[in-house]
Structure 1
Amino acid sequence: MTELRWEQDVLGPGYESTVLDVGRDGAEHEIATLVRHFPESQPALPHQAVLFIHGWSDYFFNTELAEFFTELGVAFYALDLHNHGRSLRDHSVGGFVADLEDYDTELSKALKVVVEDLHEHYGRSDQSPQVALMGHSTGGLVAALWTSRFPETVSHLILNSPWLEMHGSSFVRYGMYSMVEPLARWWPQSRIKAPERNFYWRSISSHAEGEWDLDDRLRPPLAFPMRWGWMSAILAGQAQVARGLDIPVPILVMMSARSLNGPRWREGMRSADAVLDIQTMAARAITLGQSVSIEKIDGGLHDVLLSERPVREEAYARLRRWLQGYMLVPDPRDEKNGSAG
């Protein structure tokens, strides 16, 4: 891998980013962007990190999330996928991907960078770094599929409102696929004519009813236009989830306690998932793997960690509890060296 050039990120001091060449066939102009944030002091468990994947039409901006992990001594990384956020270029088709496995190259490169970065930052040891993968919404679907195929690269899986199934039931997905697939095959980048709503953006943006300072150039209020090829990729990924992933690593799934969808803005959308169906999400989540914990957060938004402060404080408390039980523990290999116990 060529030497990377880290520069101060748009998030300011303490945050750096670097560009990764996607490098797939026919994708010579596509890039991904990796952001990093380290603990301020040498942590007790220095070879642990989390790699975060944002949702569709999104980018990484939640410094509170990054600092939650680094205060626990866990190095934090976030990946802006190609055609998203920091990785958008003039020629980009915003948010487009024809197959979710098209993200494999950038995920593989990002995970290799994280491991090498931890060795360089903290010094090499006989302890292999543990890297947890964390994904939100579509990023949660991508993270789950990656972990099922490459479990040796991931120590833990944390999902924040993952898009594991369509609204209602799998029958909705079956019906959509039969309509979408022929159009995706012939016109993959053609736009799907569908209502454009800004309800989720409205619930989180400080320019509306939310409290988060979003860059509308990196995360458009109406989201990217949906395209047939992209929808086909989502449906195919959800079909894989439905067939069973049998993920061996510990999994945490966080979600709102209720959904609230509809064609018009309602005040209740400030305290519910206004994007996905939490019932189908929960049903699919429980079948993801061998060790699955589900946390339903009362009053949570689609991204529960962007909810109003009392709600997200509860979400972070539950996340910390899970981490303390599954991740923030000494490596058993240290016992033979007398450093544990």
Structure 2
Amino acid sequence: MTDDTVGPPETDDVLGPGWVARTLPLRPDALSRRGAPGPVATLVHRRPDADRPRPRTAVLYLHGFVDYFFHPHVADALADAGYDLWALDLRDYGRSIRPGRPANEITDLATYDEEIDTAVRLLRASHDRVVVMAHSTGGLTAALWADARRGRGLVDALVLNSPWLELRGNAFERTVLTQAIDVAGRVAPRLVVSRTARHYGEALHAASGGEWDYDLAWKPHAFDVRAGFARTVRRGHARVARGLAVDCPVLVLASDAAGPDDRWHEALLSTDSVLDPAQIAARAPLLGPDVTFVQVPGGAHDLALSPAPARVRYLAEVRRFLDTRVGTRPEQDADA
């Protein structure tokens, strides 16, 4: 990408040789108007090979809650199939965390539209097609973003990895507790209402026996959930329940089984121990008229971090969907 009109130039990224990051300055918000640093997002990608033509389709990756992009193996799998992966660390997440700004907090998911719009505009300047691939809370955010921008031709497909489309829990939590959160999130948005369980993160991380090495300052095992965040997520769930009208093909993928989220167990990485796949399957058809749902047997909550063979199956399903519904090469356009 050669457009230097948005923020500083690219710099070397924490992922190491070949990876670069660009800081995207965002509009001032309430925090910055009170003296905090201004919000930023961060766009990450592998430096292109000068000897090879740039792929015609870009895939923009959006992370989940208390998360960031550390998935070069996903970029590798997509590159092998002819797709160019970029990743966006949203404001106050991962690479975009700034001192003086609370990490991983938001009171309106639509706030993220600014950085998604900016990233998509940049990618459309250098690619023919753009796909948004998103995980968990990022999946909810991406679906709401795509619905709000239908008819504009901004996105050619969505790929949603275990999207958070409904609250896991009992009927009381989904009704009475949600009503209480709606009030609390409006009057006391920073009130801590719960805390994420640490077991799934510990199962993932190399320091505690897992397969993946990532920055625990950016993706800690446990984190406080505040009322303002919970309120906007539940309002997003309500919008999904009423039905969206995303006007591009959507692939929704989830594990084939739920595991308990409140204790250590041997199936933490072979079940979804954060969300309920049955809820994801039930809500997926409400996203739009063209939705494909795929179960990944033995998948973890982040299907891309599942042990093989579930991870291999997940990536193969993504590539199959993209090849079928989006395409990568000039000859595919000619055949369309």
Q: What TM-score results when the alignment is normalised by the length of structure 2?
A: 0.90
The one of 13, 20, 24 equivalent to 1:20 is 24
Cα 1:196–1:53 shift into 2, 3 Å: closer
Aligned to 1:218: 218
Aligned to 2:259: 260
Q: Distance in 1 between the 2:100 and 2:110 partners?
A: 21
Q: Distance in 1 between the 2:218 and 2:7 partners?
A: 26
1:33 corresponds to 2:42: yes
Q: Distance in 2 between the 1:82 and 1:109 partners?
A: 13
Q: Distance in 1 between the 2:120 and 2:195 partners?
A: 37
The one of 101, 116, 121 equivalent to 1:92 is 101
Q: Distance in 1 between the 2:317 and 2:332 partners?
A: 27
Aligned to 2:158: 157
Per-residue deviation at 1:334?
Answer: 5.2
Q: Distance in 2 between the 1:57 and 1:233 partners?
A: 16
Aligned to 1:122: none
Q: Distance in 1 between the 2:43 and 2:209 partners?
A: 29
Cα 1:77–1:206 shift into 2, 3 Å: same
The answer to whether the 8 Å contact 2:261/2:274 transfers is no
Q: Distance in 2 between the 1:258 and 1:209 partners?
A: 23
1:63 corresponds to 2:72: yes
Q: Distance in 1 between the 2:244 and 2:189 partners?
A: 27
Aligned to 2:177: 176
Q: For 2:268, give the aligned amino acid.
A: M
Deviations 1:204-257 (A, max 9, x none): 1111232001111111121x3110101001001111111111211111111110
The answer to whether the 8 Å contact 2:56/2:328 transfers is no
Q: Distance in 1 between the 2:196 and 2:310 partners?
A: 28
1:249 corresponds to 2:258: no
Aligned to 1:205: 205
Per-residue deviation at 1:184?
Answer: 1.3
Aligned 1:325-336 pairs, distance under 5 A = 325-328=324-327, 335=334
1:10 corresponds to 2:21: no
Q: For 1:78, give the aligned amino acid.
A: A
Aligned to 2:289: 290
Deviations 1:29-88 (A, max 9, x none): 111111012564535x83210100000000000000111112222211100011110111
Per-residue deviation at 1:149?
Answer: 1.0
Q: Distance in 2 between the 1:172 and 1:59 partners?
A: 28
The answer to whether the 8 Å contact 1:163/1:281 transfers is yes
The answer to whether the 8 Å contact 1:39/1:73 transfers is no
1:191 corresponds to 2:189: no
**Could you say what secondary structure the match of 2:247 adopts?**
coil
Aligned 1:130-141 pairs, distance under 5 A = 130-141=129-140
Cα 1:333–1:66 shift into 2, 3 Å: closer
Q: Distance in 2 between the 1:4 and 1:312 partners?
A: 35
Q: For 2:273, give the aligned amino acid.
A: A
Q: Distance in 1 between the 2:219 and 2:257 partners?
A: 25
Q: For 2:24, give the aligned amino acid.
A: L
Aligned to 2:35: none
The answer to whether the 8 Å contact 1:39/1:74 transfers is no
Q: Distance in 2 between the 1:148 and 1:290 partners?
A: 12
The answer to whether the 8 Å contact 2:62/2:133 transfers is yes
Q: Distance in 1 between the 2:60 and 2:137 partners?
A: 15
Instruction: Decide which moves more: 139-148 or 170-179.
Output: 170-179
Gaps in structure 1 of 5+ consecutive residues: 120-128
Q: Distance in 1 between the 2:166 and 2:205 partners?
A: 26
Q: Number of aligned pairs?
A: 324
Q: What TM-score results when the alignment is normalised by the length of structure 1?
A: 0.89
Q: Distance in 2 between the 1:9 and 1:330 partners?
A: 29
Cα 1:173–1:38 shift into 2, 3 Å: farther
Identity %: 36
Aligned to 1:277: 276
1:82 corresponds to 2:84: no
Over the aligned positions, Cα root-mean-square deviation in angstroms equals: 2.1
The answer to whether the 8 Å contact 1:24/1:105 transfers is no
